[in-house]
Amino acid sequence: MMNRKMSRVTFQEKPKEERAGKQTSSALSRVAKSPPQLQPGSGSARSVDKTEATFSLKGLMLAKRMTKELKIRASKPRLRIHHRKPITIINDQVPASSAIPKEKFPCAEVERLIGEYLPSRLANVSYDPSKCARITTDLCEEIKSLVKRATPPRYKLICNVTIGSSDTEDIVVTSQCLWDPHSDTFSSCSYVNLTLFCVVSVYAVYVE
């Protein structure tokens, strides 16, 4: 039998101070390898701040210039040309049941005749409620006889005269008629002096 010699291995524990020193040296080596960080007062940080300030000033100047150009464009008048299709006017179609007079009632000429007659007839007349009924009746007959001279044949005339005091508040004279708009029509005129107002309406109705 062979005799095996056993070798003894002994481990010697190092003191705590040596282990702490090794850890400190490794930490220092890591700090030395890492890149240096920028401090708030360093020159590189100042250069970055200057670059940012330069870019912000350029942006402000560009925005100012664009605003000025937009204001100038807005103040200039623009000529707009609209190309529209031409409008074709279609004649009003007269229904078969409507009357077709050979000559229409001359509304403009009748208004001119009444407008010239009223001042000559009422210029020296003062408003008197007791006399208004007789004045309106006389005016209706006189105006009808005056308008008949310019009225085409087959037209019937209806005259309405309203007289009131000019001292009163504003008054509106209206009327409604049921007739044929293709043949029937009317003319109206008014007159005012210091004491009274007068409104005359003449209706022309075509009769076949």
Range of the domain at 142: 107-206
5 occurs within a structural domain: no
Quick one: pLDDT at residue 1?
Answer: 44
Residue 169, in any domain of the structure: yes
Give the number of other Cβ atoms within 10 Å of residue 146's Cβ: 16
Instruction: Give the span between the Cα atoms of 132 and 125, in whole angstroms.
Output: 10
Is position 20 within any domain?
A: no
Per-residue pLDDT at 167: 83
Establish if 136 belongs to a structural domain.
yes
The pLDDT of residue 2 is: 46
Question: Which has the closest alpha carbon to 148: 160, 138, 157, 135?
Answer: 157
The domain tally of the chain equals: 1
Question: Is residue 45 in some structural domain?
Answer: no
Residue 86, domain member (yes or no): no
Q: Which CATH number covers residue 149?
A: 3.30.1140.40
Tell me, what amino acid is at 45? A
The residues, ordered by sequence, that sit 6+ positions from 189 with a Cβ below 8 Å of its Cβ are 111, 114, 115, 118, 199, 200
Mapped onto helix, strand or coil, the DSSP state of residue 51 is helix
- In three-state secondary structure terms, 199 is strand
Query: What pLDDT shows up at residue 48?
Result: 46
Taking Cα atoms as reference points, which of 103, 145, 105, 104 lies closest to residue 121? 145
**Residue indicated by tokens 């076949």:** 208
Residue 143 lies in a domain: yes
Q: What is the reported pLDDT for 31?
A: 43
Contact 202, 157 (CB under 8 A): yes
Instruction: Yes or no: say if 196 and 87 are a contact pair by the CB < 8 Å rule.
Output: no
> Does residue 199 lie in a domain region?
yes
* CA–CA dist 196, 163 (Å, integer): 7
Q: What is the pLDDT along the chain (208 residues), one digit of tens a residue?
A: 444 444 454 545 555 555 545 554 454 445 444 444 544 444 444 444 444 545 567 777 888 888 888 877 776 655 555 556 776 666 667 777 788 898 999 999 999 999 999 999 999 999 998 898 899 999 999 999 999 999 999 999 999 999 999 887 678 888 888 889 889 999 999 999 999 999 999 999 999 8
